Amino acid sequence: MKPFCSLEAQLYKPIGVRIPTSYTYSERRKKEEGAEDMFHRKKLRSISHERSDFFEGLPDDIVISILYKLSSSARCPSDFINILLTCKRMNRLGLHHLVLSRAGPKTFAVEAKNWSECAHRFLRQCVNAGNIEACYTLGMIRFYCLQNRGSGASLMAKAAMKSHAPALYSLAVIQFNGSGGLKNDKDIRAGVALCGRAGYLGHIDALRELGHCFQDGYGVRQNIAEGRQLLVQANARELASVLRSSSFNLRTWHSQNQPPQNGPVTGSGLECSLLSDFGCIVPAREAHPANRFLTEWFGLRGGGPGQGLRLCSHAGCGRPETRKNEFRRCSVCGTVNYCSRGCQAQDWKLRHKVECAPMELWIDQHGDEEEEVDAGDNRMVEVEEAEGGTI
């Protein structure tokens, strides 16, 4: 008797249908399993396609509004950069000018060790989008780190024209010191005017600088009472900013400020520089990302700009000299120098008041630098003591 498969081959042979002569059960099972796998794969592809369609179906305006809020509230650059690496659409919309124009200072607060052309290009994109913080940050980096004085000052001026208080204060420091130029390029009155504008906008260091200018008659008619009032206002604003900060712990602050058992409370590096005059020990204000970048940049290069130039001795500043003997020095010890009276006053209460000691030989050690010392150096200790009397 002929097998069934050969019988069907004979029946279907006239119409051209070929039937396998050895079609076993195992082969049929494999084909069925292959068909099931194919079905599951198609189903998974359809599900993933539906999920991607949900995101792709969102209008660009909604995605931009989300990225707009993210860029303004990011705590570090990676919070925003990781979003750009998600997909091509997120990268395209994340670089939209509306998103970049509202990016906060922490969004592009790149560390100095990670500085690269890509970071520079990202900051330029933010500047082109009209971001004021990016103008100030890139201006500070170009002026002090990359030594592109003209471009850096232009970017800071662009931010200052839009009432950016840190940019106004930084331009005031440049005018006070004649940074990027010669000693004769100083414009003290312009520096006072810029400090006045920044102080009106609530900048604490500008208020402090302006108070010292009024007390000393530096670039403005002397008015000791007005200067003391500005210094008290600066301290009050500093206290308010610390109390509003999210890292401030009222219970810890209260326990730290209990009356001492065996003597006065001694200062520490973690306390705020000027509020110690009130008997308060609170965390110091967070430095601006631009100042942190300057400190890290020169710290990686030996702790100074080189060629006999020095950094401002206040740890939270980071500004370097652009020519020799540009900054004023302490008239008692001569071992520290400051870019401004504000930095000098903060560092005095934070650190230098304990370390300062008379040193009669410091002029001899620096040779003919005595001729380059500005007349304002003789007032450095008077500035320090004057602020103590205002509180």
In a domain, 191, yes or no: no
Distance, in Å, from the CA atom of 216 to the CA atom of 205, rounded to the nearest integer, reads: 17
Count of structural domains within the chain: 2
In a domain, 169, yes or no: no
Query: Bridge-partner residues for 271, per DSSP?
Result: 283
**Closest to 352 (Cα-Cα) out of 360, 344, 340, 341:** 344
Neighbours of 191 (CB within 10 A): 26
In a domain, 219, yes or no: no
**Closest to 83 (Cα-Cα) out of 98, 106, 97, 66:** 66
In a domain, 347, yes or no: yes
CA distance between the termini of the chain:
119
Among residues 98, 132, 166, the one where a domain terminates is: 132
Asked whether residue 9 carries a pLDDT value surpassing 90, the answer given is no
- How much is the pLDDT for 281? 54
In a domain, 139, yes or no: no
In a domain, 99, yes or no: yes
5 vs 133 pLDDT, higher one:
133
Per-residue pLDDT of 106-145, as tens digits, reads 888 888 998 999 999 999 999 999 999 999 999 999 999 9
Q: Structure tokens of 347?
A: 């560092």
- How much is the pLDDT for 227? 92
Per-residue pLDDT of 27-78, as tens digits, reads 666 666 666 777 666 666 665 555 555 777 788 888 889 898 988 888 888 8
Among residues 111, 132, 153, the one where a domain terminates is: 132
DSSP 15: G
Count helices and strands (H / E) in the chain. 19, 2
Distance, in Å, from the CA atom of 295 to the CA atom of 292, rounded to the nearest integer, reads: 5
In a domain, 172, yes or no: no
Per-residue pLDDT of 255-314, as tens digits, reads 555 554 444 444 444 445 455 444 455 556 778 899 999 999 998 888 777 778 889 988
**Closest to 293 (Cα-Cα) out of 123, 168, 126, 171:** 123
pTM as predicted: 0.73
- How much is the pLDDT for 44? 63
Per the structure, the complete domain to which residue 327 belongs is given by 289-355
- How much is the pLDDT for 240? 82
Among residues 132, 149, 184, the one where a domain terminates is: 132
In a domain, 76, yes or no: yes
